[in-house]
Amino acid sequence: MRKTVFWAALILTALLPLTASALEVSADCACVMDALTGELIFEKDAQTRHGMASTTKIMTALIALEKCEPDDVVAISANADAQEGSSAYLSAGADVYMKDLLYGLMLNSGNDAAMAAAEHIAGDAESFAEIMTERAKEIGAENTSFKNPSGLSADGHYTTARDLALITREAMKNPTFREIVSSRSARAKTVDNGTTLFFSNHNKLLSSYEGCIGVKTGYTKSTGRCLVSAAERNGMTFIAVTLGDPNDWRDHTAMLDYAFSECTPREIIRKGQCVKKAVIDGKSHSFTADDSFSVNFRNGQKTGYTIENHIVGEMPRAVNKGEKVGYSAVYFGDELIGQVDIISEDDIYETEGMKLKNSFFETVKKIIGRL
C-alpha cells in the first residue's frame, strides 16, 4: 500500500482485455500503442521476436540523452568513421557536440554516429549494447536484446513490436529526443574546425501524415523495412510500429487513423475543480486542482484509471492563496501516468490545530457523474 498522509483512490472503470480488430497490415509484426498509458490499441504478432534494423537507434539516442549532456564533446574515432551502411558523414578526428551527433544518428540514420556515441559512453559497441539491453528491461521490454548500437544485422539482435513501442514511449518523454525526431532537417558545425554538417530526415510521414511527430525508419535485407512513427492530435498521442513491412507508409497511416478513430480524450481532472473542503477555525476552505488532466478512452470499451489525492493532514502554518497543499496522482493500472498539484483557493491564516476535516467523497461523486 502506498504510504501517504492522506489518500483516496477512485477506480473509474474496470480493465478489460483488448479485442481483435478488422485492421489489416502487411507487416510481419505490428502494433499501435497509447503513448500515455502503454495500452495496445491494435496488435499483430506484437510479442514475436524480430530484427529491427535502424529503429535500434531509438534506444541508442535514449541512452545518450540519459547519460550525457547535449553539449558534451564527442571525438569521432577511425572505427566510427569506417562503419558500413548509412552515414552522418562524420570524419575521423572530428569533434562534435552530442546533440548534433544525435541529429546525425536519428535523421541520417548514421551508423558512424551510433558507434561514436557507443564509444563515448561505454568505450566499445559491445559494452554499450549491454547497457541498451539492461535499459530495455527496466522499461519493460523484456523480449529485446541488443548486440550493437546501429541495428546492423547480428545474431541475438532482436525486439518485438510491443517492446519497441515501449522503448519509443520512454524516449518520447524526453523533450530533446522529441525535438530531434520531429525535425525534417538540421545543420551543425564540428567543434574542432567548424565544418558544416547537413542532416535530412528519412521519415516521410513527417510531411504526409497530419500530426506526425517522429520517429525512426530502418531497413536491412534480413529484417525488411521497419518503421516507428508517432502522431499527436486532439491531445492524444499514439506510437505505431511495424517490423518487416513492404508497405509501411501505407500501413502506418491506416494504423494511426484507426487509433485516433478508436479513442476519445476525456478530462478526468478539471482545472479549478474542488478536490477537498475543510473547516479551519470555523471557516470553510476549498482546495482545487491547479491544472486539467485528460486520458484516452477506447470507444465501446472500458479502461482502468485510478486517481489518488494526496493532501497534508494538518496545516503547520498559514497558507497563501494558490499555494500547493498536495497533489492528485493518476494511475493506469499500477503505473503513474501524471500528476496535478492541489492548491488552496484562498488564504488560510495560522490558527491552533490546523487540521483538515474530510469531505473528499463529495468530490468523488462529481467525478463519477462526469464519466
**For the stretch 10-49, what's the b/e string if a residue is b when 16 or more beta carbons lie within 10 angstroms of its beta carbon?**
bebeeeeeeeeeebebbbbbbbbbbbbbbbbbbbbbbeee
The question of whether 173 is a catalytic residue gets the answer no
List 44, 54, 99, 276, catalytic entry: 54
d(CA 253, CA 242): 12
SS3 string, the chain, reads CCCCCCCCEEECCCCCCCCCCCCCCCCCEEEEEECCCCCEEEEECCCCCECCHHHHHHHHHHHHHHHCCCCCEEECCHHHHCCCCCCCCCCCCCEEEHHHHHHHHHCCCCHHHHHHHHHHHHCCHHHHHHHHHHHHHHHCCCCCECCCCCCCCCCCCEECHHHHHHHHHHHCCCHHHHHHHCCCEEEEECCCCCCEEEEECCCCHHHHCCCEEEEEEEEECCCEEEEEEEEEECCEEEEEEEECCCCHHHHHHHHHHHHHHHEEEEEEECCCCEEEEEEECCEEEEEEECCCEEEEEECCCCCCEEEEEEECCECCCCECCCCEEEEEEEEECCEEEEEEEEEECCCECCCCCCECCCCCHHHHHHHHHHC
Q: Which of 86, 99, 109, 328 is catalytic?
A: 109
Question: Is there a catalytic annotation at residue 208?
Answer: no
Sign, Cα dihedral of 98, 101, 107, 112: negative
Order of strands across the sheet with 335-344? 9-11, 305-311, 324-332, 335-344, 283-289, 274-280
Which position among 44, 57, 99, 276 bears the catalytic label?
57
Q: Considering only CA atoms, which of 277, 290, 263 is closest in space to residue 364?
A: 277
Asked if 109 is an active-site residue, the reply is yes
Residues belonging to the active site = 54, 57, 109
